[in-house]
Amino acid sequence: MLTRKQYELLLFIHERIRESGVPPSFDEMKEALDLKSKSGIHRLITALEERGFLRRMEKRARALEVVRLPDNMAETARPATTRSQAQRILPMARHGRPDSRGTDPRHNSPRRAMGDSEHAVNVPLVGRIAAGTPIEALQNRIADVPVPGGMIGRGGDHYALEVTGDSMINAGILDGDTVIIQEADSANTGEIVVALVDDNEATLKRLRRRGDSIALEAANPAYETRLYGADRVKVQGKLVGLIRRY
């Protein structure tokens, strides 16, 4: 599975080749993904090569070939090219398409599950989130998760993320769990949140305010608490529920 930035870059290259027949330059890719240096583009291209999505043709300038696309990438989809778009963990509101049951991911409010009980709603599962060292959250709509209506309450938009890592085990959050997140851009100290660090990496942690700084606190003594300037951390949502399969 691809990270958010890998997905955006692959889609941008695919669209540019399809429109003009020529791959974009590194400067164009850097600008489209709002990265600060070309080294980040090199790393993304290498990762896409290793995963079999891109191929570099030797001894040719700007020679990139898209070998394949992710199964859920719409042929007509467009990449997120602005900072506000790139920072969203719920890009299915821009890149989504109706699924086989007729639900439309452009509406990211929970939808009632067809055939489920009166109190069940569908929440979009949009990727993975690290409960450990921060990683890039995926930006793809993967599936719908039926959630009891009482778990999400009455207000706000919600989404689901699959947890990877064990840094929140003492809070009852295990590797492989699915967490239900209510979209929010602020949180009280002590709440468990999806935090976006440096506009790039997302993690699931307990938020603590310490003066002008924000601490992202693990619930596992094997992991250290990470302290950031307040301007480096953006709240993307608050934990409201958890689903576990046995």
pLDDT in tens, the chain (246 residues): 678 888 889 888 988 888 877 888 888 898 888 888 888 888 888 888 888 888 887 655 557 888 888 765 544 343 333 333 334 333 333 233 333 333 333 333 334 333 334 477 888 888 888 876 665 555 566 788 888 887 876 667 888 998 988 899 989 999 889 999 999 999 999 999 999 888 778 899 999 999 899 999 999 988 899 999 999 999 999 999 998 876
Contact by Cβ (8 Å): 186, 137: no
pLDDT of residue 58: 63
pLDDT of residue 111: 40
Structure tokens given for 245: 């399969």
The residues, ordered by sequence, that sit 6+ positions from 239 with a Cβ below 8 Å of its Cβ are 179, 180, 181, 191, 192, 193, 194, 204
Query: Length of the chain in residues, anyone?
Result: 246
DSSP H or E run through 176: none
Per-residue buried b or exposed e for 174-190, using 16+ beta carbons within 10 Å of the residue's own CB: eeebbbbbbbbeebeee
Q: Which residues are catalytic?
A: 167, 205
| CA 237/CA 93 separation, integer angstroms | 16
pLDDT of residue 234: 92
Query: Long-range contacts for 101-105 (Cβ within 8 Å, ≥24 apart)?
Result: 101/144, 103/144, 105/141
In this structure, are strands 143-148 and 213-217 parallel, antiparallel, or unpaired? unpaired
